[in-house]
Homo-oligomer: A and B are copies of this chain.
Amino acid sequence: MKDDVIAPEAPVITAKLNTLCFQILGVLLRQPRSGYEIVKQLEMVWPVKTSQIYPTLARLEKMGLVVSDDVEQQGRPNKRVYSVTRSGEKTLRDWVGTEPAPPVWRDEFLTMLYSAWTKDPQQVLAMFECRLKYLDDTMNMLRSRLAEHRATFPEELKNPRNWHFFRDILISRRLFNYEQELVWSQSVIYKLREFIDGERES
């Protein structure tokens, strides 16, 4: 608590951090991990490739926000496990609660729908059928994750001072999202079927 007055613990190299940096700090603050593990952890949250993660981790280390520790393993390659420093923790906590940038979601499926009036309604229907399958698969995966998490940490996830609370609400948010898209898709499918039937009769 007196760090900033008495002993500035790290040589603070000021540089602008992007959202990915804060996301990485967030993962590592929950639990120290290697670059490879971070990539898997962020797969659904903020997809990132190894070619981006390793240089970023090196940058964070140079800034004194994380430290690494080489861990030897038998039967697998060794790994370098990163953890957050006190300086990194402060940086992260200071960022949380600032004004977030407006969300941007880019969905190629929607871009295709934008011009789907150039296609036959039957083909658009087929596009939606494929989408339904994708949605169903993703939802099942999320449901099992959520169930497992709730069974394993029934108490922790009631406490907003515990990260399990936020894991729970973030998974359930994604699930809600897919459920809602499913409902919407079905309503569009209904409209398309109605039109196709009407066209066939005349």
| Interface positions of A (Cβ within 8 A of B) | 19, 22-23, 25-26, 29, 45-47, 89, 92-93, 95-101, 103-119, 121, 123-124, 126-127, 130, 158-163, 165-166, 169-170, 172-173, 176-177, 180-181, 183-184, 188, 191-192, 195
Contact = CB atoms under 8 A, between A and B. Distances in A.
B108 A105 contact: no
Contacts of A126: 97
18 contacts: A22-B111, A45-B111, A46-B111, A92-B118, A97-B116, A97-B119, A97-B126, A100-B112, A103-B108, A103-B109, A105-B106, A115-B163, A116-B160, A159-B195, A160-B191, A173-B184, A177-B177, A180-B180
Contacts of A158: 191, 195
A175 to B, nearest CB: 10
Contacts of A25: 115
A114 B184 contact: no
B103 A118 contact: no
A176 B184 contact: yes
Given A117-B161, A169-B184, 18 more contacts: A19-B106, A22-B111, A23-B114, A47-B104, A97-B119, A97-B123, A97-B127, A100-B107, A100-B109, A103-B106, A105-B105, A105-B107, A110-B173, A113-B170, A116-B160, A116-B166, A169-B191, A176-B181
A60 B119 CA distance: 22
